[in-house]
Amino acid sequence: ERATGTASKPSALQNVSWNGRSSWRVRWYEEGKERQKRFSVPRRRELGGRSFEADKAKALRAAIAHRRSLVREGKLLDARAKKRGLSTGVRWLPRASAWRVEVWASGHASHAYFPPKDGSLEELEKARLSAVHHWQQHSEKNEATMCEVQWRARTRKWRVKILVSGKVLYRYFCPQDESPEAIEKARLDAVECQRTLKRPEVNEVRNLCEKEVNGARNTEIQRLKRKRQHLQPDGAAARDPSLEKIQPAPPRSAAVPDGARLAEKASGVRGVTWSARSGGWEVNMSFRGTRLSKKSFSAKGCSPEEIEAARLLAVQHRRE
């Protein structure tokens, strides 16, 4: 084991630190109380004695040896051991020197502790597996009890809270009015929703729907990427025909010179403008610089007569 430290930083080895007062400190918890032991570096040395760095390294080796003895006695966790149980509700507590299992029931948490016999990796793993097994046994009961119907006074709604497959789901039911009958009806709907969500077949259908939605979303993302690159699914460099459907059509007046020249002229009425992108006249209603509404009048064709007819409709709408 190798550990180094300075006056401002702890050593690389856990529970061993340099306190800045010429000593190394080993900290651990025993019976819920913090314990510590210091290994001092002598300040006064005779002429020709060892250097301060050599004395500091000697004190550090003594601190590491003391830490190893604490690990063998089971008072400290091995530095190579993982601190988490790799499972929800299971974690390592240094103060208790044990794995703690947290189980929720009826809105309250209960805890169980699994201490290892000593600080070896084998005993730590055995205690961790026992804690995970205990949590798995109570997980189904936890999901069954983690379901409640509450009245939220702030939002004036009934809330259904349920734990399904490790996920917390919320559903809200708002009464139509403040009458006692409407509030009671919303509560009954919330209770019925609670019973429905607790059914196993409903959970299976919900999981299947989530998978289908995620799969469809991923497929749509890939399709849009291919459209953006103008590539076919096989990778050939060709334009996707369906891309033309979502692109805006070219201005209709561009094909007819007479219609284009007419469209370039002003409508003669404020708020009525020609839009080459949509191929029609747009009416913008505003008040003191704030747009209130917008309506478009598209021409049926590209001829000057049809464009003029659409303009007259837009002007009439603007004046009304």
Query: DSSP secondary structure string, 168-203?
Result: EEEEEE--SSSSHHHHHHHHHHHHHHHHHHTSHHHH
pLDDT tens, position by position, 46-91 = 445 567 778 888 888 888 888 888 877 767 765 555 444 444 578 8
Least confident window among 34-38, 52-56, 108-112, 132-136: 108-112
Distance CA 197, CA 170 (A): 10
Residue 216: is its pLDDT beyond 70?
no
- Would you state the pLDDT for residue 12? 56
- Would you state the pLDDT for residue 140? 53
Per-residue confidence at 178, pLDDT binned at 50, 70, 90?
A: confident
- Would you state the pLDDT for residue 254? 42
Task: Tell me the pTM.
Answer: 0.29
- Would you state the pLDDT for residue 274? 78
- Would you state the pLDDT for residue 263? 45
Residue 117: is its pLDDT beyond 80?
yes
Q: How far from 128 is each of 22, 75, 95, 118, 138, CA to CA, in Å?
A: 38, 16, 16, 13, 16
Distance CA 55, CA 130 (A): 44
Least confident window among 3-7, 113-117, 189-193, 283-287: 3-7
Which range of 74-83, 188-197, 241-250 scores highest in mean pLDDT? It is 188-197
- Would you state the pLDDT for residue 297? 81
Which range of 57-66, 100-109, 236-245, 258-267 scores highest in mean pLDDT? It is 57-66
Residue ranges matching CATH 1.20.5 in the chain: 147-198, 252-319
Distance CA 251, CA 255 (A): 8
pLDDT tens, position by position, 2-46 = 444 444 345 556 778 887 768 888 888 777 677 888 888 876 554
3-state secondary structure of 125: helix
Query: Which comes out higher in pLDDT, residue 143 or 110?
Result: 110
CB neighbours of 299 closer than 8 A, spacing ≥ 6?
252, 259, 279, 280, 281, 306, 307, 309, 310
Looking at CATH, the fold of the domain delimited by 252-319 is given as 1.20.5
- Would you state the pLDDT for residue 248? 47
288-300 residues labelled b (16+ CB within 10 A) or e (exposed): eeeeeeeeebebe
What is the rounded average pLDDT for all residues in the chain? 69
Residue 147: is its pLDDT beyond 70?
no
Per-residue confidence at 185, pLDDT binned at 50, 70, 90?
A: confident
Q: Which DSSP letter does residue 37 get?
A: E
Q: Reply yes or no on domain 147-198 having CATH 1.25.40.
A: no
